[in-house]
Amino acid sequence: MIISCQNIQKYHGAQLVLSDVTFDIRQGEKIGLIGRNGTGKTTLFHLLSGEERPDRGQLSIRRGSVIGLLAQIQEADDNETVYAVLQRSFAEPLAWQCRLRELEQEMSAPGAGEDERAWDRLLKEYGTLQEKFEAAGGYEIEASIQRIANGLGIGNDQYDRRFASLSGGEKTKVGLAELLLRRPDILLLDEPTNHLDMEAIEWLEQFLQTYDGTVLVISHDRYFLDAVVKKVIELEDGEASTFHTNYSGYQVEKEARLLQQFADYQEQQKKIKQMQESIKRLIEWGNRSNPPNPSFHRRAASMQKALDRMVKVKRPILERKSMDLQLQQEDRTGNQVVILDRISKAYGSRQLFSGASDILRYGETTALIGGNGAGKSTLLKIILGQEAPDSGSCTLASRAVVGYLAQEAVPEEGRQSVLKYFREEAGLEEGEARGQLARFLFYGSDVFKSIANLSGGEWTRLRFAVLMHRRPNLLILDEPTNHLDIDSREALEEALEEFPGTVLAVSHDRYFINRCFGKLWSIDHGRFSAFSGNYEYYKEKQAERAAQVQQQAAAPASAASAAGSTRSRPAASKAPALQNGGITAAAPSRKPRPAAAWEQDIAAAESQLAEIDAQMMDPQAASDAQRLAELHAAREDAQQRLDELYSGWLSETES
């Protein structure tokens, strides 16, 4: 056992946050801490890290355990660089390294060996420090920093940047890298996936799966929880419930527990009612007697004591209130809602994407995926008309009413109240506005909170309330699930499933994408691609393509190797095969293609690609959706053929 919590209670002022939290954690367990926003998850982390102490109960952590907490707000000195922050984890080995350099200078100084005692002392200190430095992995510091930073998407070009100049998401990534480099015994991660792209999230999953220590993670990313955790602790109504499974298993077990608890509650209520009726009857019988019969009263009192001692089963809440998002459209659009025609965008010498072409049809749900900085938000702004493409064009349907949810933080200077902001945006009277806000979990005094004081989840819910009132037929959402708890994410998913219009969303939430989207747009290393299917299908196709490219790259090398082995085989080994019917044992090797042949094929493929581009620019083809789709498919095939030719040509020339 590494952590034990028994009947923990914690107040924030007069508000009881944790009332009776009990659970145990064993060494090496991977645990997901889940619950609605505001249930005390972060408070519990502060108790475990020692930043706060419980008001009641007992919290025990194994002596000598090193605890690492990923704070939501990262801090550093004004002039501290990103690389200096990453090196914090190795403060002691780096101090030893500095001392080793000092000792080397002292020992190499003129006349250093004249005093044998001083020389022996320096030599002994040097040997001891060198052993400690090596045991602490001092010679692998650079490699460790590179491995963790690259995995989380922190490039070498960021190392010299001042930490204070980074955005909030970039600071969180650097803080997470520094924490992982420290490798504490107990790792406390609060929403670690919020600012990571899919590639970095998948790397973090693999890292945590093989991590030796104990991991306790707060997350609303259900895909991530399924991949990493083997145990779920849920905080609800100030109490903790433990489930020995991943998130999908928790959902099944939670439902079974609620149904069993409701059956137990109904059975106990029936028994309580029977006992109360019996007590009432005994008292009436005792009073009816003349004189009153005390034995009936004694039996009634005894039964009342038994009833008072009974441990009452709490009535379970089978369905808790969640965001009531009902997306409806005022009017529908035509069949072709968004038409991308060879759109390209670059900032200086950095090309975000080029040749982006596809058609988004009415009723389609499309997820736009790609790494951080790939250009996803830029493409959304081009579609919205907020930015102009460098080349190509984007056309929206004539009756398109756009509902846009930007990826924006809570305004720091927002002095308006929630109610005033919503009334101004939606144009409603106070009574109706308060009723609408209640559907998005803003009750009572919540509507008078300043916008600047809202949490990320509250701010997103408020913007969804405004969006719902506008009744759009084209939803464009940029990271809509960020900061939402699981219940609110599920409410959003249900609303999108019922929405008859068209949806385009940027998201890193793979569970959300798999459930709600049947098409993907991908921006990967400047290349735009469209896939029919969900995220699982996309990953499967990516794996197949990677295997195909690897196989094509390996084929020329293996052929050259086979040819070399044939040439080097001695003539004597061929004699028995020739005597046996004149058939040689070795198959003839494929001759390497001349460079001119490769260049001829590449030129032909480029010519075919240019011809398809010219046909797509024809106004007659642009007005024919079916013809445009056929040309787009042909262009994808031609581009893939050209990529394969380049790959084969490079492999053969390198070999």
3-state secondary structure 45-77: HHHHHCCCCCCEEEEEECCCCCEEEECCCCCCC
Per-residue burial over 290-312, b if 16 or more Cβ lie within 10 Å, else e, is: eeeeeebeebbeeeeeeeeeeee
pLDDT number for residue 225: 92
| 273 phi and psi angles, rounded to 5 deg | -65, -40
Asked if 49 contacts 188 with a C-beta cutoff of 8 angstroms, the reply is: yes
Asked if 174 contacts 82 with a C-beta cutoff of 8 angstroms, the reply is: yes
Asked if 345 contacts 352 with a C-beta cutoff of 8 angstroms, the reply is: yes
**Amino acid identity, residue 37?**
N
CA angle 16, 20, 26 (to 5 degrees): 130
pLDDT number for residue 112: 64
Dihedral sign, CA of 292, 293, 295, 299? negative
Asked if 395 contacts 548 with a C-beta cutoff of 8 angstroms, the reply is: no
> For the chain, which residues score pLDDT lower than 70?
71-78, 111-114, 414, 553-596, 616-626, 628-629, 632, 643, 646-647, 649-655
pLDDT number for residue 594: 66
pLDDT number for residue 575: 36
Asked if 243 contacts 253 with a C-beta cutoff of 8 angstroms, the reply is: yes
Sheet of strand 239-243: strand arrangement:
56-61, 3-12, 15-25, 239-243, 231-236, 30-34, 214-218, 186-190, 67-70
Q: Which of 590, 597, 587, 588 is nearest to 559 (CA)?
A: 590
Q: Write the DSSP symbol of residue 156.
A: G
pLDDT number for residue 571: 40
pLDDT number for residue 246: 92
pLDDT number for residue 97: 84
